[in-house]
């Protein structure tokens, strides 16, 4: 047995909780494959059918968005790195292209071999199911944080000829945008400043706003870029209740900060209006199950507000309520918003993440 390769296999998150005995079965299905410099190992859009571990050489991971002239490099991987692991589970189209930057030797595991293996070994299936419950959403986090996701999903952009300025301005109003809309045409640039869906200022070639808007409404060509202002979690006052113990305050304040963080993320990918509708539907569905829902006050429009001060007697049932509330919101949004299957459910703030882990929030989610 190649001990180095076996240890590399153990470091793959998909296999991290599998027993060494079962991992050895997977190890035995690996096959060596060689690619010359410049070869495409994985092509964006192709169905996923293999997982790879790099034995030697380096590869480049890149994506080719339609409205961007040059490919965007997401990562460079070298000896010991791996890619394509989610193909073993989903078989969905590849989200990026992987190209050999040097001559490359890899170990390959085919999805067909892996499928046969888990059918014959239910222990592997059970372990993967347990692991995926907690980690599937995190698997593609690196890709979500790339420049292309930033440009195309968090900050919507596009061509004026495809949408028209009126639709774009309506979007800002309906979604209570706080931030900027930037228009560009050749060397011309206009900036709309918004606060909670209200236009505060239009900056275009030192012209009066009425004159500037008249000219911009006639633009048939050009690009737009919607840039929401990031939500400042630290500036939001947290709920207080004099009857709460120190531990209750710690837990409820962590939950409140967590919801503020996640709602802010969702607004930037789905819009405030869609999120408010999804929240309304989720609350309506859970109202028949949880009387406790009457003690929490959450709104998205015209701005995010969360008030938990009416909670007088905290119990673990509230943890389940908040977990299911977010779960239902994501389900409601996923009908209309692409990409939420990989929404990062864990907090970006370690202290919040620790509290939620202790309360088994992620498991209940």
Domain boundaries of the chain, sorted by first residue: 3-143, 155-228, 233-364
**What SS3 class is residue 298?**
strand
Q: Could you read off the pLDDT of 260-306 as tens digits, one per residue?
A: 989 888 877 777 778 888 899 899 888 888 889 999 999 887 778 89
Can you tell me whether residue 239 is helix, strand or coil?
A: coil
Cβ contacts of 68 within 8 Å, gap of 6 or more: 148, 151
pLDDT at 237 over 80: no
**Residue 75 above 60 pLDDT?**
yes
> Is 88 a residue whose pLDDT tops 60?
yes
CA distance 254 to 237: 12
Which pLDDT band holds residue 22 (cuts at 50, 70, 90)? Answer: confident
* CA angle centred on 58, ends 112 and 342, rounded to 5°: 55
pLDDT confidence bin for 103, thresholds 50/70/90: very high
Whole-number mean pLDDT of the chain?
80
Given this model, what pLDDT does residue 102 score?
A: 93
- Range in 27-36, 138-147, 252-261 the model is least confident about: 138-147
Q: What is the pLDDT of residue 259?
A: 93
Q: Which of 83-92, 119-128, 309-318, 341-350 has the lowest mean pLDDT?
A: 119-128
**Residue with more model confidence, 343 or 217:** 217
Distance, CA of 292 to CA of 51 (rounded, Å): 46
CA 143, CA 79: separation in Å to the nearest integer? 20
Q: What is the 3-state secondary structure (H, E, C) of 12-30?
A: CHHHCCCCHHHHHHHHCCC
Going by C-alpha positions, the residue among 93, 106, 114, 110 that lies closest to residue 41 is 106
Q: What's the CA gap between 77 and 66, in Å, rounded?
A: 24
Q: How confident is the model at residue 116 (pLDDT cuts 50, 70, 90)?
A: confident
Question: What CATH number was assigned to the domain covering residues 3-143?
Answer: 2.60.120.10
Please compute the mean of the pLDDT values over residues 59-67 and round it to a whole number: 76
What predicted TM-score, i.e. pTM, was given to this entire model?
0.46
What's the rounded mean pLDDT across residues 17-37? 86
Q: Name the nearest CA neighbour of 225 among 118, 288, 281, 153.
A: 153
Indicate the pLDDT class of residue 245, thresholds 50, 70 and 90: very high
Of the pLDDT bands very low, low, confident and very high (cuts 50, 70, 90), residue 142 is very low
Residue 254's pLDDT is 92
């Amino acid at each position: 047995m190649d001990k180095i390769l076996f240890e590399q296999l153990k470091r793959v998150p998909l296999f991290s909780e599998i027993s060494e005995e079962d991992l050895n079965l997977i190890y035995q299905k690996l096959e060596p494959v060689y690619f010359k410099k410049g070869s495409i190992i994985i092509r964006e859009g192709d169905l996923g059918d293999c997982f790879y571990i790099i034995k030697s050489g380096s590869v480049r991971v890149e994506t080719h968005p339609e409205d961007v002239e040059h490919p965007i490099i997401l990562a460079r991987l070298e000896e010991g790195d791996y890619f394509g692991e989610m193909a073993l589970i989903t078989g969905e189209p590849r989200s990026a292209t992987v190209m050999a930057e040097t001559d490359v030797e890899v170990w390959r595991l085919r999805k067909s071999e892996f499928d046969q293996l888990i059918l014959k070994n239910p222990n592997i299936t059970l372990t993967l199911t347990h692991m995926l419950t907690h980690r599937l959403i995190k698997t593609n986090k690196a890709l979500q944080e790339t420049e292309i996701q930033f440009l195309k999903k968090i900050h919507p952009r596009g061509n004026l000829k495809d949408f028209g300025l009126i639709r774009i301005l309506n979007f800002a109003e309906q979604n209570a945008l706080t931030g900027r809309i930037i228009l560009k045409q050749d060397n011309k640039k206009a900036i709309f400043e918004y606060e909670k869906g209200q236009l505060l200022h239009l900056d275009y070639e030192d012209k009066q706003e009425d004159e500037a808007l008249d000219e911009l409404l006639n633009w048939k060509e050009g690009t737009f870029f919607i840039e929401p202002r990031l939500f400042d979690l630290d500036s939001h006052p947290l709920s207080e209740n004099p009857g709460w113990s120190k531990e209750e305050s710690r837990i409820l304040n962590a939950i409140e900060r967590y919801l503020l963080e996640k709602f802010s993320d969702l607004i930037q990918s789905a819009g405030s209006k869609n999120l408010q509708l999804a929240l309304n539907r989720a609350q309506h569905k859970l109202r028949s199950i949880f009387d406790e829902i009457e003690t929490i006050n959450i709104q998205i429009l015209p701005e995010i507000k969360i008030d938990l001060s009416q909670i007088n007697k905290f119990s673990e049932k509230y943890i389940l309520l908040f977990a299911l509330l977010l779960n239902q919101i994501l389900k409601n949004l996923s009908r209309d918003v692409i990409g939420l299957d990989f929404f990062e459910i864990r907090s970006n703030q370690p202290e919040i993440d620790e509290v939620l882990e202790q309360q088994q929030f992620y498991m209940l989610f």
